[in-house]
Amino acid sequence: MGICINTAGLLVLLAMGEEVRADIDQVRVPAFSAQDKQQISPAWKTYGFNDIAHTDYSLVVEDGVKVLQAKSEDSASGLIHHIRFNPNEYPYISWRWKALKTLEKSDARTKSGDDYALRLYINFDFDIEKLPFDEQFTARLYQKIKGEDAPLASLNYIWENKLSGETLIASPYTERVQMLVLQNEQSREGVWYSEQRNIVEDYIKAFGEPPSDVISIAIMTDSDNTQGASLAHYGNIVVSKTARK
């Protein structure tokens, strides 16, 4: 499912969250492995679409560790954590993920293929004045209705089935969402892949300028455009000042 901000409508990614103290080594992103019982932390909020079935998210135990399971059947929704931090101070994001069933028709080049077995969003603050007038109007309307800033720049890391690794491509819905392919059809199902990215470097590569504050982190597993089905696991997400070994 594409995330698009335009005058016709606004698909919601919320923007407000706690700020991070500058004297800590990591941004506190709620760990799936530390959740109480089988309940996902309320700090991870569901976002979705009224006319589309939601993806099923749950905690499962694998090798003694809790991970987030995402099961999508012709559905689309995600989980978002609101947090504000300066990526120049905390440039590294690390996580692991595993596809148990991928989407054969996943294709970032088309709207009909804009579904991903695994996807991680980093959403950034953005100067509304840089937008065309019609997009400024929509963003200000969002602010008035929601009482908060609209997310106007988003960097997505995706598991996709048609493009090679490290391919950078704009969302088929909007250039304000830039997607970077990390895993693809050559990646093995049922295998954990560990990722570590420099947020600042990837943002500059995607948007051609330094990033503003990060305002939220989200994950989404969807299959509504392809009318397919996927099953995936997400491990903990860590944001840090220094690279992890």
Domains of the chain: 17-240 (2.60.120)
CB 193 within 8 A of CB 97: yes
Distance CA 32, CA 58 (A): 10
The residues, any chain, with a CB within 8 Å of residue 200's CB and separated by 6 or more, are 87, 88, 91, 210, 211
pLDDT tens per residue, range 41-83 = 999 999 888 899 999 999 999 999 999 999 999 999 999 999 9
Looking at residue 5, its pLDDT comes to 36
Q: Which two tokens stand for residue 40?
A: 């996902």
- In terms of pLDDT, which residue wins out, 17 or 40? 40
Lowest mean pLDDT among 55-69, 162-176, 212-226: 162-176
Q: At 2, is the pLDDT very low, low, confident or very high (cuts 50, 70, 90)?
A: very low
> Which helix (H) or strand (E) element contains residue 82?
strand 76-85
Lowest mean pLDDT among 46-50, 77-81, 100-104, 234-238: 46-50
pLDDT(149) > 60: no
Angle among Cα 109, 114, 118 to the nearest 5 degrees reads: 115
**pTM of this structure:** 0.84
Angstrom distances, CA of residue 208 to CA of 5, 69, 83, 200, 204: 20, 34, 24, 11, 5
pLDDT(13) > 50: no
